[in-house]
């Protein structure tokens, strides 16, 4: 087992998180498209075993800390999907972009602090090359009333 995979499993264990054995898209799209040295991952809401575990408007229906917990689920789900597609997270060279969409209350301005929970995981799993660019914004609504959604683009090595 490679380092990134081992670090990923450690994160899952620390957070007592178990994803489906075979993660499937919720509708007619692909979880990942790999092409030309890049892997694009579809937007992930905080879903575990078919259950959305973090819903509502952050700063109103749930706290920053609860949103950060949801961001960890979305991030690890995106990585679980990458591993499922690539065979191993060792194939990830760099995370090029993470976009974090936070379903926000009208006066909630801590989208960056929600996104930090995502970034922390990326740095841990892909150390020492976990550096990534990031955009975080506060949206009005998300599919299935999810509190947040995260998508990413990775640079990957050939299999």
Residues engaged in binding a copy of itself (CB under 8 A): 26-33, 35-38, 40-43, 93-99, 101-113, 115-116, 119-120, 123, 131-145, 149, 151, 153, 155
Beta carbon nearer to a copy of itself, 2 or 112: 112
The answer for residues whose C-beta is within 8 angstroms of residue 157's C-beta and 6 or more apart is 37, 90, 91, 92, 93
**What is the rounded distance in angstroms from the CA atom of residue 4 to the CA atom of residue 40?**
18
Beta carbon nearer to a copy of itself, 18 or 70: 70
From the CB of 102, what's the least distance to a copy of itself, in Å?
8
From the CB of 27, what's the least distance to a copy of itself, in Å?
5
Tokens linked to 30: 């692909």
Beta carbon nearer to a copy of itself, 16 or 128: 128
Q: Output the CA–CA distances (angstroms, integers) from residue 135 to 96, 111, 118, in the order listed.
A: 11, 9, 11
From the CB of 54, what's the least distance to a copy of itself, in Å?
14
Beta carbon nearer to a copy of itself, 39 or 69: 39
From the CB of 96, what's the least distance to a copy of itself, in Å?
5
Place of tokens 């973090």: 54
Q: Output the CA–CA distances (angstroms, integers) from residue 118 to 89, 90, 95, 112, 146, in the order listed.
A: 16, 19, 12, 10, 16
């Amino acid at each position: 087992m490679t380092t990134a995979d081992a670090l990923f499993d450690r994160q899952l264990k620390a957070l007592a998180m178990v994803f489906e054995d075979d993660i499937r898209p919720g509708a007619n799209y692909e979880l990942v498209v790999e092409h030309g040295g890049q892997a694009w991952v579809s937007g992930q809401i905080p879903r575990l075993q078919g259950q959305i575990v973090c819903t509502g408007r952050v700063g109103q229906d749930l706290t920053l800390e609860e949103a950060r917990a949801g961001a960890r689920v979305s991030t690890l789900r995106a990585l679980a999907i990458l591993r499922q597609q690539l065979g191993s997270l060792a194939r990830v060279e760099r995370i090029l972009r993470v976009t974090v969409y936070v379903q926000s209350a009208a006066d909630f301005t801590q989208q960056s602090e929600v996104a930090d929970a995502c970034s922390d995981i990326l740095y841990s799993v892909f150390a020492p090359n976990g550096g990534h660019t990031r955009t975080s914004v506060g949206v009005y609504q998300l599919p299935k009333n999810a509190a947040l959604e995260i998508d990413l683009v990775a640079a990957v090595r050939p299999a």
